[in-house]
Structure 1
Amino acid sequence: MAEIGASVVASTYAHSWIFDAFDPYDPFESTARAYTELFTVRDEPAKEEFLVRMIRGFGIDGIIFHNSRTCPNCTNSQYGMPSRLTEKTGVPHLIIDGDLNDLRCFSQEQTLTNLEAFMELLEQKQQNKRRAPRCKIETSANEPPSFAYPLNTA
């Protein structure tokens, strides 16, 4: 990612294997509890809510989804989630095809081409942001002007 000027600041994958709820003094109950809290077993609305919090909390400019061909439970690009997140947050997304086990499902050249195009899209979006007015002055006949700064919608 550094080759194309990008940084990955958040991931759901690593969170899928962290068992915060596990208690070694109560292994059976806490294992069950831990497994129900994993990202991969959550329903779509819970995943979406979590991702929106990550997007806004980290100030993410773009979302990359990995479409794992042989692991549909770890593939969050199904059921329209990427489009819904882009619609809710204004943050564009990219879906990369691949697999964790079968290299035949992955093309390095195609992935790099898609990433480069996605980075161009993000750069254009940043340039448009810089050209946008930073604030607007709101005035009223009886009050001095006040400055209203646009909220970050992402």
Structure 2
Amino acid sequence: MPMPQPDFVLCCNNICNCMIKWYENLAKEKNIPLILIDVPYNDDYTAQEDRVKYLKGQFDYAIKQLEEICGKKWDQKKFEEIMEISQRTGRAWLDATSYSKYTPSPFSGFDLFNHMAAAVCARGRVKSAIAFEKLAKEYAQNVEEGKSTFRGEEKYRVLFEGIACWPHLRHTFTKLRDSGVNVVGTVYADAFGYIYGNTNELMKAYCGTPNAISYEKALDMRLKVIENTNVDGAIIHINRSCKMWSGFMYEMERDIHKIAGIPTVSFDGDQADPRNFVPAQFDTRIEGLIEVMEANKEKENKEA
């Protein structure tokens, strides 16, 4: 069965810049309307009221556009019902991802890259909430029974910074798994668990996505994840298709190494273009990181 074609496309710019071009080209090729929500960058630590009002005004206008395109009036009651379901899904998702704090982790970090599809595309569906609630229970049971979906010994725990290198997901996963490296920390997966009490708080939540926050807040987010998950090192993905995210990663890597005191390594990649990833570079960087993490563990054991 052919995929149903869209009547319009809706996009925001607090995501990776390549995706805006995807939507622009879809709108042009299909000759359909493009509704774009501009999410401003926050130079303050938290989103100020002017940003929130600016964003809400765009959503109000987008609703009017959608009413004209769809020929239907806005249903506030239905919207509130979906918000409740979305938050139920978000809470369950954050609950599930939080189990990586246990050592060993009850799951392989790359599992989240698969499960997050529902958090991205179907957060407003009851089925998604139920699925994540079951997932959280499964992880809780794994902790009690000493089980994990990570195949092999979890020798090293790492923070994976950035979006997955989707065209080479198998290679990155296999190299880490075979080396006993498990991804237990990431800010990417948790970014899809929005929690809010009303529409105004929803706008603030949108302003708090990783691509829209100040460097200081972004750094604190990573340091908190590192502390909560007890990582041995960090892997930084310099994603060529996400300049808003990867632009300050070189400085971020230096600060993580300095403040958290863990070894870090970066590699070049892309969330969409397979040409920007070199398997040999990735393998060499990971092997170097493992050497340092192993040396640190040996030093800790001698001092214990």
In 2: Cα distance, 1:126 partner to 1:76 partner: 32
Please report how far the alpha carbon of residue 58 of structure 1 lies from its aligned counterpart in structure 2 after TM superposition: 1.1
Q: Could you tell me how far apart the structure 1 residues matched to 2:250 and 2:281 are?
A: 23
Give the deviation of 1:20 after TM superposition. Answer: 2.1
Paired letter, 1:120: E
What is the match of residue 51 of structure 1?
A: 222
Could you tell me which residue of structure 1 aligns to residue 177 of structure 2?
2
The Cα of 1:40 is off from its aligned counterpart by 2.4
> Structure 1 residue 120 and structure 2 residue 295: aligned?
no
Q: Distance in 2 between matches of 1:6 and 1:70?
A: 26
Match of 1:15 among 190, 196, 209: 190
Calculate the TM-score normalised by the size of structure 2: 0.40
Paired residues for 1:4-153 under 5 Å: 4-21=179-196, 26=199, 29-75=200-246, 78=249, 80-132=251-303, 134=304
Q: How many residues align?
A: 129
**Is the contact between residue 15 and residue 39 of structure 1 (CA under 8 Å) also seen in structure 2?**
no
Classify 1:126/1:116 alpha carbon distance in 2 versus 1 (closer, same or farther; 3 Å): same
Q: Secondary structure at the match of 1:70?
A: coil
Distance of 1:93 and 1:47 partners within structure 2:
17
The equivalent of 1:144 in structure 2 is none
Retained in 2: the 8 A contact 1:22–1:34?
A: no
Runs of 4+ in 1 over 4 A off after TM superposition: none
**Identical aligned pairs, as a percentage?**
22
* Unaligned 5+ runs, structure 2: 1-175
Once the two structures are TM-superposed, the CA of residue 17 in structure 1 deviates from its matched residue by 2.8
Amino acid at match of 1:125: N
Partner deviation per Cα, 1:74-133 (whole Å, 9 max, x = no partner)? 22753511111111111111111100111111011221121112111111111111112x
**What is the TM-score with the length of structure 1 in the denominator?**
0.75
CA offset at residue 51 of structure 1?
1.1
The CA deviation at 1:44 is: 0.7
* Matched-pair contact (CA < 8 Å) for 1:61–1:122: yes
Report deviation, 1:31: 4.1
1:54 deviates by 1.2
Report the RMSD for the aligned CA atoms in angstroms. Answer: 1.8
1:67–1:77 CA contact under 8 A, matched in 2:
no
Q: Letter of the aligned partner of 1:53 in structure 2?
A: K
- How far apart in 2 are the matches of 1:107 and 1:83? 23
8 A Cα contact 2:267 2:282, kept in partner: yes
3-state SS in 2 of match to 1:67: strand
* More helix by percentage: 2
Write the distance in 1 (CA, Å) between the matches of 2:186 and 2:224.
12
| Cα displacement (A) at 1:55 | 1.1
